[in-house]
Structure 1
Amino acid sequence: MSLKSASTDILMQLANVIGQLTDQDYARPLPVLSGNTIGKHVRHILEFYELLVDSAQTAQRGIALLNYDRRQRDLRLEVDTDEALRRIGTLDRAIHHLDLNHPLHLEADLSAAGVPGAETIQIPSTFARELLYNIEHAIHHMALIQVAVRSDFTTLVLPAHFGVAYSTVQHQSH
């Protein structure tokens, strides 16, 4: 499986679950998620993907810059399942147009004191490495969503291996 097809697989699993939820259930604070919602986890996943895709536009002027701390935190993604599904489709199409070999600089702010830019670092990466990170990041949050679904939405049907890392699936199949 290629990185792009693995990303499609993960995004389609997520879309499958979102498509089974009402907006009310999607945005409902859940004790098992410490009062957070499935929608907040989905927003978080999609905004990381969007930052990666958007950074490709800066790549046309040289090396792309990617900073996951600069999320927009679009609250529509937390409460509107149709918007989340629309954005998943847009992201999936955009990912298939990425040049995964193109280099980029990953920027992060390591300041614990909350002074933006005080301890900003840049490290070299590629779109392939960051797409892999986004897949693994999504799986991690999907594992939390899986816990919420099994606890509060027992009639929902989860895709096989939803929220389970590929390495874990391989290990469990032996």
Structure 2
Amino acid sequence: MLQKTNIEIINQLIDLLTDIDSDVYRDSLRPLHYSTVGQHVRHITEFYQCLLKSQANGLVNYDARERNINIEVDKNFTIELLEVIKKQLDNLKTDYPLSLKTEFAAEQVTAVPSSFYRELIYLIEHTIHHLAIIKIGLNEMYPEIKIPQNFGVAHSTIRFRVIG
């Protein structure tokens, strides 16, 4: 189920990338302090890559991203990469223990216990957060681009809107 939810969110992102021009993907957006859609998409994509690499050694470190500039500037390359990530997620059917490594200033945390499923939950929220940021930037700079109403909206918020 967690893989399916992540795949659905990645599909939302792929749909957006398919609909926007490459120039829009690379444009510095003033409301986002001149970051680009591509930079946010790279950030999202590389978090998934970090988690998927954890299969090999049971360690996930989101700080150790590759920071591949091609993801930032080439939306077609990125769409292909996201399709690969979806397939990899779909092929992983069981949870496994992980250690989460991160660094804050000089303090390094190296052995925070986690699991693949726990990190999938984190990536759902992380990705939705960045989709919301992308939506703000595009709505301000490119209001002619139609973005689905629930793009970048947390599942709990969608449920609340329906119920409330």
Normalized against structure 2, the TM-score is what?
A: 0.94
Give 1:141's match in structure 2, choosing from 130, 133, 137. 130
User: Any stretches of 5+ residues in structure 1 without a counterpart?
Assistant: 59-63
Greater displacement, 21-30 / 154-163? 154-163
Show the counterpart of 2:50. 51
Between the aligned residues of both structures, percent identity stands at 34
Which whole-Å CA distance do the structure 2 matches of 1:3 and 1:155 have between them?
Answer: 33
Show the counterpart of 1:125. 114
Which whole-Å CA distance do the structure 2 matches of 1:160 and 1:97 have between them?
Answer: 30
Which whole-Å CA distance do the structure 1 matches of 2:146 and 2:94 have between them?
Answer: 33
Deviation at 1:121, TM superposition (A): 2.8
Q: AA paired with 2:152?
A: G
Q: AA paired with 1:38?
A: V
User: Any stretches of 5+ residues in structure 2 without a counterpart?
Assistant: none
Which whole-Å CA distance do the structure 2 matches of 1:96 and 1:128 have between them?
Answer: 13
Deviations 1:66-115 (A, max 9, x none): 111000100111111101100110000001122442111111112x24xx
Q: AA paired with 1:35?
A: Y
Deviation at 1:53, TM superposition (A): 0.8
SS of structure 1 residue aligned to 2:51: helix
Show the counterpart of 2:103. 109
Contact 1:42 1:77 in 2 (8 A): yes
Q: Matches of residues 15-164 of structure 1 in structure 2 within 5 Å?
A: 15-58=14-57, 64-110=58-104, 112-113=105-106, 119-164=108-153
Which whole-Å CA distance do the structure 1 matches of 2:147 and 2:21 have between them?
Answer: 15
Q: How many residue pairs get matched?
A: 163
Show the counterpart of 2:9. 10
Runs (4 or more) in structure 1 with deviation over 3 Å come to: none
